[in-house]
Amino acid sequence: MDNVALASLFRKEFEWCCVAAGESVAIVTEPASSPSYVAASLASLAGMGAQPFQVMLPLTLRTDDIAVVAQGSGASTILADFPHVVELLGKCGLVIDLTLEGLVHSPETKTVLAGGARMLWIREPADALARLLPTAERVGRIDRSVELLRSAKEMIVTSKAGTRLRANLEGALLTGSRGFCAERGRWAHWGQGLAAAYVASLDVDGEIVLDIGDIVFPFNRYVDGRTTLRFREGFVEAIEGEGLDAALIRDYMARWNDRNAYGISHVGWGLHERGLWHALSLYGSVAMGLDGRVFEGNFLFSTGPNHAAGRQSGCHFDIPMRNCSIFLDGTPVVIDGVIVEPSIRRAGA
């Protein structure tokens, strides 16, 4: 995509974010950030009358042997040594995150959002950004999904592969990821289309059985053999399976030596009709896997950092699953990977 087309695309997204003339916009980068995305951000924001500026920070490499933090994990430490920059960002109207690892699960992000700034992470390849742009129709389905979660006390997830998980949703922190941020203190990832509940309760029990074709992030890997994660009182107590998937998950979690790494984070479902389950096999490492996280009808669950439960961890898994059934207080929302709840079912689906 040439520079003119890219700047035009970015302007469409920033219009969804309600960027205003005179608004101060910080663009947070690291040396490896995409130069074309920096240029497109600056050009489109300036063209809208905003006041954009770039903040480039050094990336400090890990020297321990705990774990390699994958790009796209959302737990970048790039702001950790710069409290004055964090203070500055909190005073901006909008913060554009162009870091590769992302800041969503960084402790400093909470401070930035508390200051009133809104934050937008831009990470996917340009063609994916264009394909995953927000629509008013999808925003409506996302908002209605959040209302369904708000009125529910319990989620039950099943699958023919053997999944049977029950999660108490009382006190959960609910989020509808629309793919843009228009309100003060909101975070967004360009292209998202999902509804999720950060589970506050420890009343989460059962088994999640990963089946062939499910995706494990941050490994950016499709599952090729069944793996079972057994939850008891909100935490994974066993990871069972003879294949590579189970071995990788066991080893990665254990190396953090962190009880919070095993805790349930969020549960929810994908709503993006243009999200592609197979995209990871084509994009590879140039993407952080947004398609896989949001494709319509998936069950997405996560372990590690949990804003509702007050748990922080550098170890974060997102695992989108196909062919699951999701029930809220006994009412079906998704059956075998197909959205069936009338209020959120897409016309013609």
pLDDT in tens, 238-288: 999 999 999 999 999 998 999 999 999 999 999 999 999 999 999 877 888
Query: For the chain, what percentages of helix, strand and coil (3-state, to nearest 5) are there?
Result: 25, 30, 45
The pLDDT assigned to 286 comes to 80
User: Quick check: 307 and 260 in contact, CB under 8 A?
Assistant: no
pLDDT in tens, 127-170: 999 999 999 999 999 999 999 999 999 999 999 999 999 999 99
Give the phi and the psi of residue 180 in degrees, each rounded to 5: -155, 165
Domains assigned to the chain: 3-123 (3.40.50.2300), 134-339 (no CATH)
CA 314, distance to chain mean position in Å, is: 15
Q: Which of 134, 251, 131 is nearest to 181 (CA)?
A: 134
The pLDDT assigned to 71 comes to 52
DSSP codes, 254-306: HHT--GGGGBEEEEEEE-BTT--TTHHHHHGGGS--HHHHHBTT-EEEEES-B
Q: Using the 8-state DSSP alphabet, how is residue 217 labeled?
A: B
ω into residue 218 within 30 of 0, thus cis?
yes
- Please report the sign of the dihedral spanned by the C-alpha atoms of residue 295, residue 298, residue 302, residue 307: positive
**Could you give the CA distance from residue 311 to residue 302 in angstroms, rounded to a whole number?**
13
Confidence of residue 191 (pLDDT cuts 50, 70, 90): very high
Q: Return the percentage of the chain with pLDDT > 70, whole number.
A: 96
Average pLDDT of span 193-200: 97
**Could you give the CA distance from residue 94 to residue 184 in angstroms, rounded to a whole number?**
9
For the chain, list the strands marked E by DSSP.
24-29, 51-56, 94-97, 118-121, 154-159, 164-168, 173-177, 187-189, 194-198, 204-210, 215-216, 221-222, 227-232, 235-240, 264-270, 299-303, 317-321, 324-328, 331-335, 338-339
User: Quick check: 77 and 60 in contact, CB under 8 A?
Assistant: yes
Establish how many alpha carbons lie within 13 A of residue 255's alpha carbon, considering only the half-sphere containing its beta carbon.
Answer: 15
Establish how many alpha carbons lie within 13 A of residue 306's alpha carbon, considering only the half-sphere containing its beta carbon.
Answer: 28
pTM given for the model: 0.93
User: Quick check: 266 and 199 in contact, CB under 8 A?
Assistant: yes
Confidence of residue 106 (pLDDT cuts 50, 70, 90): confident
Token pair of 254, please? 């254990």
**Taking 90 as the threshold, does the pLDDT of residue 60 lie above it?**
no
**Taking 80 as the threshold, does the pLDDT of residue 73 lie above it?**
no
**Taking 80 as the threshold, does the pLDDT of residue 338 lie above it?**
yes
